[in-house]
Structure 1
């Protein structure tokens, strides 16, 4: 008796990265609503004006259908699901930064619908309000939680010192000479969602950068160089 195979269903997606792959094909990395981050191959056509190539742009809401049982999928259908978000200057650089974080750190084919929603909200915020440090920090926190590195801010209450360190293995600890230190007061404010204070935002940015650098190892993010060239 043959079992019926479930037909691939269309789903919302965004392009994170693309590069040439064999003749007239592209290898793309997508963030999808149902399947998380997915690598797929698409036949883009011979013409530089191919409709598929025109759709394969970052920050354009898409609807895609993916086919295949292996890790590398085939991008069966693709169409626009809205207007491309208008990003330029520093908001554009921040959006490239968000995309690169996902490409570098998010595992393949692990559903993360909540992170997909946060990604959409972050891009929309950058497009409508310009650079928003609070939105970026909240996205980074959401990504860390998806990676299993949720920050246990409650642990701060049992630490008696005014400053603390953070270790990927043990979380927040009393100050360690081998690690950066952070204001416990600022961290408790961040835990309560109080990002408006400049000191709190600076603490959050420094903490996120140090944690992400540890996760990246010795391979820096290319998108950060865009800010250096500004």
Structure 2
């Protein structure tokens, strides 16, 4: 068995004296593990840092085996990511979220969303927006997606302002007025084209929205705690965005 793909390093763990087991998110083969001979060497260690984009060749006698990775660098971004609190916490949280997926289950849309976030970690307003979109896509890929396309009450696609915490469906400003204290705010950036950026307040609303459904429908269902790095990421984003807005 053999395949070649590109991927983003999510993490590694030691194996024996010199090898490492690498965990990567690949474009066509999903989240995948593989043994890297010499993975702890001076040559390979910088390549296998979280956030780096790599070229991979995976080989095994049968598909069920762990298999081995041959790894070559494509984009070594880890060093610059380590200089930013936003980037560090984002990488940790992204890896934790992706571990919710079955290993080797392809999710090309999530891979593209991951690349988009990594490309904009130096732009907190855009990174915050893209991270919320990533979490919404993750919910969808896990089969518990939200419906933000039209108002659950009127069917209108105009003036959407809230989300029902029960159904996960959007609600318009007028239809939700009398229940607004019970509804979740729908940040306006989710109704616009991706990559426009968002304020600290809008990012907070987005994180609150996805947090509700991630906890209720994913983490609590699996009896797992949400990654602590997510709260740290939001704190780092707030600090950076608030400074930029003042």
Superposition TM-score, scaled by structure 2 size: 0.71
Cα deviation, residue 101, structure 1 = 1.3
Distance 2:85 2:146 in 1: 31
Q: Which residue of 2 aligns with 1:3?
A: none
Rate the CA distance shift 1:219–1:72 in 2: closer, same or farther, 3 A: farther
Cα distance, 1:60 vs structure 2: 1.1
Q: C-alpha distance in 2, partners of 1:83/1:228?
A: 25
Cα drift, residue 29 of structure 1: 1.5
SS at match of 1:95: helix
Alpha-carbon separation, structure 2, partners of 1:173 and 1:120: 28
Whole-Å separation in 2 of the counterparts to 1:83 and 1:152: 37
Take 1:229 and 1:199, find their aligned partners in 2: how far apart are those partners? 12
Listed as ranges, the gaps of 5+ residues in structure 2 are 156-160, 177-181, 237-246
Measure, in 1, the Cα distance between the counterparts of 2:189 and 2:3. Answer: 39
Provide the residue aligned with 2:142 in structure 1: 147
Match of 2:36 among 42, 46, 52: 42
Provide, for residues 65-90 of structure 1, a one-character-per-residue CA deviation record: whole Å limited to 9, x for no partner: 11233445323311001232522222
Superposed counterparts of 1:169-188, under 5 Å = 170-172=167-169, 181-183=183-185, 186=186
RMSD between aligned residues: 3.3
Tell me, what secondary structure is at the counterpart of 1:54?
Answer: coil
Alignment CA distance shift 1:156-1:22 (3 Å): farther
Q: In terms of mean alpha carbon deviation, does 22-31 or 12-21 score higher?
A: 22-31
Deviation at 1:166, TM superposition (A): 2.4
SS in 1 for 2:164: strand
The verdict on how the C-alpha distance between 1:227 and 1:14 changes in structure 2, with shifts beyond 3 A counting, is closer
Q: Secondary structure at the match of 2:165?
A: strand
